[in-house]
A and B are shown apart, each in its own frame.
Chain A
Amino acid sequence: MLDVLGLASVDDLFTMIPPSLRYEQPLDMPEGHTEIEVLRELGVLAARNRSVDELVCFLGGGAYDHHVPSMVWPLLGRGEFATSYTPYQPEVSQGVLQALFEYQTMISELTGLEISNASLYDGGSALGEAVHMASSATGRKAVVLAGCVNPLYVDVLRTAARGPGLEIREAGWASDGTADLEATRRLADGAAAIAVQHPSFLGSLEDVSTLAEIAHEQGAKLIVHFDLTSAGVLEAPGALGADIVVAEGQPFGNHLNFGGPYVGVIACRREDARRLPGRLVGETVDREGRRSFVLTLQAREQHIRREKATSNICTNQTLNALGTSVALAWLGPQGLKELGDTCLAKARYCRDRLIEVAGARPVFDAPIFKEFAVRLPADPVRVCERAAADGYLAGVPLARYLPGRDLDDALLVAVTERRTREEIDGLAEAVARACKEEA
Chain B
Amino acid sequence: MTARPSPPKLALAEEQVVFERSRPGRRAGRMPALDVPAAPADAIPEAMRRRNAPLLPEVSENELVRHYTRLSQRNWGIDTGFYPLGSCSMKYNPKLAEDAAAMAGFRRLHPLQPESQTQGALQLLVELERALCAITGMAGVTFQPAAGAHGELTGLLLMKAFHENNGQQRRRVIIPDSAHGTNPASVTLAGYETQEVPSDSRGLVDVEALERMVGDDVAGFMITNPNTLGLFEENIERIAAAIHSVGGLLYYDGANLNAILGRTRPGDMGFDIVHMNLHKTFATPHGGGGPGAGPVAVSERLLPFLPGPRPIYDDASKRYRWDDVDERSIGRMHTFWGNFGILVRASSYARALGSDGLRHVAERAVLNANYLAHRLRGTYDLAFPAQPMHEFVLSARKQKARGAKAMDVAKRVLDYGFHAPTVYFPLIVDEAMMVEPTETEAVETLDAFAEAFIAIDREIDTDLETLKTAPHTAPISRPDEARAARNLVPRWYPRPTEPAHDPEDAGPEEKPSI
What is the minimal beta-carbon distance from A419 to any residue of chain B, in angstroms? 9
Q: How far is the CB of A87 from chain B (nearest CB, A)?
A: 6
Are A16 and B386 interface neighbours, CB within 8 A? Answer: yes
A285 in contact (CB, < 8 A): yes
What is the CA–CA distance of A163 and B135 in the complex, to the nearest angstrom?
Answer: 30
The chain A residue sitting closest to B109, CB to CB, is: A258
Interface pair A31/B488, CB less than 8 Å apart: no
Q: Please give, as numbers and ranges, the residues of chain A lying within 8 Å of B335 by CB-CB distance.
A: 62, 122-125, 150, 152-153, 156, 248, 259-260, 262
| Any B CB within 8 A of the CB of A158 | yes
- Decide yes or no whether A186 CB sits under 8 A from chain B: no
Chain A residues positioned under 8 Å from B340 (CB to CB): 257-261
Quick check: A27 and B359 within 8 Å, CB to CB?
A: yes
Among B396-404, B452-460, B498-506, the one that faces the other chain is B498-506
Task: Pick from B68, B150, B422, B488: contact of A297, CB below 8 A.
Answer: B488
Interface residues of A in 195-219 (CB under 8 A from B): 205, 207-209
Cβ contacts under 8 Å, B120 to chain A: 44-49
A294 to B26, CA, bound (A): 30
Closest B residue to A99 using CB positions: B71
Within 8 A of A (CB), among B231-275: 231-232, 234, 236-237, 260-265, 268-269
Residues of A within 8 A of B69 (CB): 75, 78
Known interface pairs A32-B353, A84-B75, A115-B490; A109-B45 also in contact (CB < 8 Å):
no
B476 close to A16 (CB less than 8 A):
no
Contact B511 A346 (CB under 8 A): no
Contacts A316-B147, A335-B31 known; A18 to B356 CB distance under 8 Å?
no
**Chain B minimum-CB-distance residue to A228:** B54
**CB pair B263 A89 closer than 8 Å:** no
Shortest C-beta distance, A287 to chain B (Å), equals: 4
Is A89 within 8 A of B492, CB to CB? no
Which residue of A is nearest B79, CB measured?
A79
Give chain B residues whose Cβ lies under 8 Å from the Cβ of A331.
28-29, 56
Query: Does B171 interact with chain A (Cβ within 8 Å)?
Result: no
Contact of A83 with B78 at beta-carbon distance under 8 Å, contacts A302-B185, A315-B289 already known? yes
Decide: A348 and B474 in contact? CB cutoff 8 A: no
Contacts of B477 in A (CB 8 A): 91, 286-288, 290
Nearest CB to that of A420 among chain B residues? B35
* Also in contact, A109 and B54, with CB within 8 A (given A155-B331, A163-B153): yes
Q: List residues of chain A with CB within 8 A of the CB of B50.
A: 231-236
| CA–CA, A421 and B33, complex, Å | 11
Inter-chain contact A294/B484, CB cutoff 8 Å: yes
A96 at interface by CB-CB < 8 Å: yes
Interface residues on A, range: 35 or more
Q: Does B220 contact A (CB under 8 A)?
A: no
Contacts of B478 in A (CB 8 A): 91, 286-287
* Total interface residues in chain B, CB < 8 Å: 208
Q: Is A182's beta carbon under 8 Å from chain B?
A: no
* B212 part of interface (Cβ distance < 8 Å): no
B residues in contact with A84, CB < 8 Å: 75-78, 286-288
The reply to whether B111 and A205 form a contact with Cβ atoms under 8 Å apart is: no
CA distance A94 to B73 in the complex (A): 9
Across-interface contacts of A258 in B (CB, < 8 A)? 106, 109-111, 118, 121, 336-337, 340-341
Q: Which of A79, A93, A260 has the most CB of B within 10 A?
A: A260
Residues of A within 8 A of B124 (CB): 42, 45
CB of B205 to closest CB in A, whole Å: 14
The reply to whether B54 and A333 contact each other, CB–CB distance below 8 Å, is yes
Judging by beta carbons under 8 Å apart, are B110 and A57 in contact? yes
Across the interface, B44 reaches (CB within 8 A) one of A10, A73, A86, A234, namely A234
B330 touches A101 (CB 8 A): no
Apart from A69-B28, A125-B146, what are 15 other A-B pairs with CB-CB below 8 Å? A4-B371, A20-B237, A32-B351, A39-B99, A92-B471, A92-B475, A152-B335, A205-B44, A233-B44, A256-B111, A284-B483, A296-B484, A318-B291, A330-B28, A336-B53
